[in-house]
């Protein structure tokens, strides 16, 4: 029977290249892949999948742990999941999606069952209780988020602190001095979810650096939550002229409320949203926004997993620079209105 060495010789490549074509563990050029596949077909080579799995102890499956808690935005989470699945397929890996909020027990159960080669975790908390368990696992882990202590575990995410600063820089550059933050739900802050904590810290620090008058409030989902949040913001900072909205689900009811109360966007209130691009452009007003780069973050998480599985070096903290796109929801105000 032909061997992998025979295939490599016929294709003019190394045996390891044949192995990578079969496993998908590393990207191979289309031309080389075609030569290897032609040699496999010509020689009638049939690798024994079971034997390969036993020899390598690999499953070609990545676990994506994304708890669907009541306070998460499921459509946004699914954008990250889609990016992870798509990137994993390019490496011939499947994804096991875990949505139940099981904490440490769920992570250990999946890892100890040897169902997966690696884990990607989302919705991290500042002092996440799962981190010590991840350090004990034989499988590598990558976090989409940045907990306080992630020593030895790779993290990828948007730089939410820089995103907050970019939003305030943009509004300050348009003359706004009184700015409110419509934040995530109180439950997100209570859990000390890392993206919310980092954004709030960046917002407060940038406010001081820029000499702005700002006020922040969490926002419960739904129209009533938005009404309550806006009432608090207006009561604490009279004459605010701009809002930063870090809550995708609040955007539509917020625009409806502003319209119903006669406050025009951007003539009376300017808005910078922190949300996926498709959300910003689907609103009644095309919103100036800082994108949540789900595709880039999810892809980078998978690439980092693959490097760890191959024993290659990785950067243990990768924060993507925010990108602000100006559309129709911000205007410059005169000095007399500041």
Which pLDDT tens digit goes with each residue over 60-109?
A: 899 999 998 888 889 999 999 999 999 999 999 999 999 988 888 889 88
pLDDT at res. 51: 44
For residue 254 the two structure tokens come to: 């917020």
33 with 68, same domain: the answer is no
Global pTM value: 0.82
pLDDT at 114: 77
258-266: long-range contacts at Cβ-Cβ below 8 A with a sequence spacing of 24 or more? 259/284, 265/329, 266/328, 266/329, 266/330, 266/331
Instruction: Identify whether residues 185 and 333 lie together within a single domain.
Output: yes
Contact, 161 vs 196, CB < 8 A?
A: no
Within a domain: residue 154? yes
Q: Are residues 285 and 299 in the same domain?
A: no
Domain presence at residue 224 = yes
- The kind and range of the H/E element at 179 are strand 178-183
206 in the same domain as 312: no
| Number of domains comprising the chain | 3
Is 189 in the same domain as 229?
Answer: yes
> Is residue 125 in a domain?
yes
Q: Do 131 and 200 belong together in one domain?
A: no
Looking at residue 54, its pLDDT comes to: 43
Same domain, 259 and 298: no
Asked if residue 52 is part of any domain, the answer here is no
105 with 38, same domain: the answer is no
Q: Which residue has the tokens 């997993």?
A: 305
54 occurs within a structural domain: no
CA dist 121 and 195 (Å) reads: 13
Question: Domain range holding 41?
Answer: 4-47
**The two three-digit tokens of residue 197, written as one number:** 């904590």
Closest CA to 200 of 182, 212, 187: 182
Q: Is the peptide bond before 266 cis (omega within 30 degrees of 0)?
A: yes
Element (H, E) at 279: helix 277-280
User: Per the structure block, which two tokens stand in for 268?
Assistant: 């009376």
The answer to whether residues 235 and 330 belong to one domain is yes
Q: Is 27 part of a structural domain of the chain?
A: yes
Furthest CA-CA distance within the chain: 86
Reading the block at residue 158, the tokens are 């948007």
| Residues with pLDDT less than 50, the chain | 49-51, 53-55
Q: Give kind and range of the element (H or E) at residue 65.
A: strand 61-65
CATH code (residue 181) = 3.40.50.2300
Q: Is residue 220 situated within a structural domain?
A: yes
Same domain? 201 vs 282: yes
Between CA 326 and CA 14 the distance in angstroms is 50
Closest of 291, 234, 331, 237 to residue 79, by C-alpha: 291
Sign (positive/negative) of CA torsion 82, 310, 143, 320?
negative
Residues 6+ away with beta carbon under 8 Å from 248: 73, 75, 76, 273, 275, 276, 279
Residues 123 and 88 in one domain: yes
Look at residue 55 and tell me if it is in a domain. no
User: 3-state DSSP call for residue 288?
Assistant: strand
Compute the distance between CA of residue 32 and CA of residue 11 in angstroms, rounded to an integer. Answer: 8
Is 303 in the same domain as 279?
no
């Amino acid at each position: 029977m032909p061997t992998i060495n025979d295939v490599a010789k016929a294709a003019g490549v190394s045996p390891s290249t044949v192995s990578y074509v079969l496993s998908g563990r590393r990207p191979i050029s289309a031309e080389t892949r075609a030569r290897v596949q032609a040699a496999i077909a010509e020689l009638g080579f049939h690798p024994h999948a079971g034997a390969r799995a036993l020899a390598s102890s690999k499953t070609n499956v990545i676990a994506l742990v994304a708890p669907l808690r009541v306070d998460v935005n499921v459509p946004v989470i699914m954008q990250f999941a889609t990016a992870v699945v798509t990137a994993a397929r390019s490496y011939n890996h499947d994804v096991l999606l875990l949505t139940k909020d099981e904490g440490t027990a769920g992570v250990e159960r999946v890892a100890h069952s040897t169902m997966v080669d690696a884990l990607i975790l989302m919705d991290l908390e500042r002092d996440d209780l799962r981190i010590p368990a991840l350090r004990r696992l034989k499988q590598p882990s990558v976090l989409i988020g940045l907990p306080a202590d992630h020593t030895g575990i790779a993290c990828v995410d948007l730089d939410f602190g820089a995103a907050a600063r970019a939003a305030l820089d943009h509004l300050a550059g348009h003359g706004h001095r009184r700015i409110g933050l419509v934040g995530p739900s109180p439950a997100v802050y209570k859990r000390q979810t890392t993206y919310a904590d980092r954004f709030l810290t960046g917002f407060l620090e940038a406010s001081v650096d820029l000499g702005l008058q700002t006020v922040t409030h969490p926002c419960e989902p739904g129209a009533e939550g938005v009404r309550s949040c806006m009432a608090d913001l207006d009561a604490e900072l009279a004459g605010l002229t701009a809002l930063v909205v870090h809550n995708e689900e609040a955007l539509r009811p917020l625009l409806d409320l502003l319209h119903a109360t006669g406050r025009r966007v951007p003539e009376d209130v300017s808005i910078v949203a922190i949300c996926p691009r498709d959300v910003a452009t689907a609103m009644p007003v095309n919103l100036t926004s800082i994108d949540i780069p789900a595709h880039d973050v999810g892809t980078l998480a998978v690439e980092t997993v693959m490097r760890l599985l191959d024993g290659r070096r990785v950067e243990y903290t990768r924060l993507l620079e925010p990108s602000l796109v100006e559309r129709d929801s911000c205007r410059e105000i005169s000095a007399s209105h500041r």
